[in-house]
Amino acid sequence: MYTTLPDILLANGAQQQIAADCVALVDQEISAKSGVSAAALKLAYAAVTTFAPGYYQTTVEKLVPKMLRQLQPFWTDFQAGEGGQFGDYLASQGHVVAEALLAVTDDLAQGSPRGAIIKAYNAVRDGARNHIEAALPSVGALVEKYAG
Query: What is the per-residue pLDDT across 17-53, written as a single tens digit (0 to 9) for each?
Result: 999 999 999 999 999 999 887 888 888 888 878 876 6
Residue 122's pLDDT band, with cuts at 50, 70 and 90, is confident
Which residues make Cβ contacts (< 8 Å) with residue 34, sequence separation at least 6? Answer: none
pLDDT at 113: 87
CA–CA dist 95, 109 (Å, integer): 20
In this prediction the pTM is 0.89
pLDDT at 99: 97
CA–CA dist 98, 32 (Å, integer): 19
| Helix 94-111 and helix 55-80, axial crossing angle in degrees, nearest 10 | 150
pLDDT at 84 over 90: yes
- Within 1-148, residue ranges assigned H as helices are 14-32, 36-51, 55-80, 86-92, 94-111, 115-147
Which residues make Cβ contacts (< 8 Å) with residue 138, sequence separation at least 6? Answer: 25, 28, 29, 87
Lowest mean pLDDT among 51-60, 98-107, 121-130: 51-60
pLDDT at 2: 81
Domain that holds residue 107: 5-147
Q: What is the mean pLDDT of residues 116-127?
A: 85
Q: How many domains does the chain have?
A: 1
> Mean pLDDT for the chain?
91
Angle (CA) 92 95 96, round 5°: 90
